[in-house]
Amino acid sequence: MSDLQTVLQFITTFEQKYADQSTYEIANRLRGHTKPTYTTQTWTIATGFEQPFIDGALNQTIVLAGEPTDFGHFIASFSDQLDKPGFQWSDLTRWTGDHTSWAGDIGSAIAIYRSDPSKFKSLHDAFDRFASDSDYSADIAAFCVGAIVASSPKIPIAQAINFYNSRPYHEHIQTFLKTRFNAILTSDKLTNPAKVEADIRSSVFAYLELSPDSGILRRVKKFFNQRLKLEPEDAREYLSADLLQGSLHFMTHLIQKGNLAPLKFKPYLLPQAPWLGTVNYDVSAG
């Protein structure tokens, strides 16, 4: 685990080097100092900026706002929170910054698990490995730092990160819940959990539809063409259960790290994807 001030000094020096460029351009150039998977064609399409891999200088775990954070993942997700003026290919899809952060973490874990379940103890094991607490904290930081930069476009990235770091993580989670999901927080309780859960589930499903390497569309086609041994109804139940387990995995992080009371509630039907079905029993998060 590295020191935050060392990383901030790297970013400050980097910003000085590219002082004539926008925050959007600098953030995307920083992706070149994370890891190769954050500089692929998918990222070029998502961010509208092509950036080759240079080195792993920022591919570290950093304590940010008191929480261990995958800093390389933060930089990559943050770069997709900043909009480039003009038309982007991603504008033709439902792709958003969610899909290069928490929705992508959950969705990729599902896709990797379903491609070869034998490599994991369970789907929950896949979530713990590919949508870990340090990944989620990177996602929250990307969203919140992105909001800071959006409200003050002239602010240096290093300064925005330092400002984020000055507040405790649970405050950022509560801000994230209210801003991204229109969550209603009363004292220490989330009072509209079914709405939040449905929104998470819908975004993860959209990621699986949109991601070129998730393979989910091929499997969905197989479900409906009856090319699997499973009946279509059974196959739909598998996907529905995966999505629900993924959304609850993320909600558990938000509830626990946000200092909120544990939840028990009944999820409801997704109007955007009615074939996924609904759940006729209570579920828990936190």
The overall average pLDDT reported for the chain is 86
Mean pLDDT of 165-191: 97
> Could you tell me what percent of the chain has a pLDDT over 90?
65
Per residue in 43-99, pLDDT (tens digit) is: 888 888 999 999 999 999 999 999 999 999 999 999 999 876 655 555 555 678 899
> Within the chain, how many helices (H) and strands (E) appear?
12, 6
pLDDT value at 180 more than 60: yes
The reply to whether the predicted model has a pTM over 0.95 is no
Three-class secondary structure of residue 140 per DSSP:
helix
Which among 58, 1, 5, 4 is positioned nearest to 27, based on CA atoms? 58
Q: How far apart are CA 180 and CA 21, in angstroms?
A: 29
pLDDT at residue 231 is higher than 70: no
pLDDT of residue 268: 76
Mean pLDDT lowest for which of 22-26, 193-197, 207-211? 207-211
Residue type, 125: D
What CA–CA distance (Å, rounded) separates 246 from 250?
6
pLDDT at 157: 98
pLDDT at residue 228 is higher than 90: no
Q: How far apart are CA 80 and CA 76, in angstroms?
A: 7
Q: Is 285 in contact with 255 (CB distance < 8 Å)?
A: yes
As a whole number, mean pLDDT of residues 273-282 equals 62
* Residue 149: per-residue pLDDT: 96
Q: Please, which residues bridge with residue 67 across strands?
A: 64
Residues 102-158 have pLDDT tens digits of 999 999 999 888 888 899 999 999 999 999 999 999 999 999 999 999 999 899 999
Q: Which of 37, 32, 38, 40 has the alpha carbon at shortest distance from 14? A: 32
Q: How confident is the model at residue 207 (pLDDT cuts 50, 70, 90)?
A: confident
Decide: 250 and 135 in contact? Cβ < 8 Å.
no
Give the model's pLDDT for residue 202. 87
Distance CA 12, CA 56 (A): 17
HSE (CB half, 13 Å, CA atoms) of 31? 30
Question: Which residues sit opposite 186 in a β-bridge?
Answer: 189
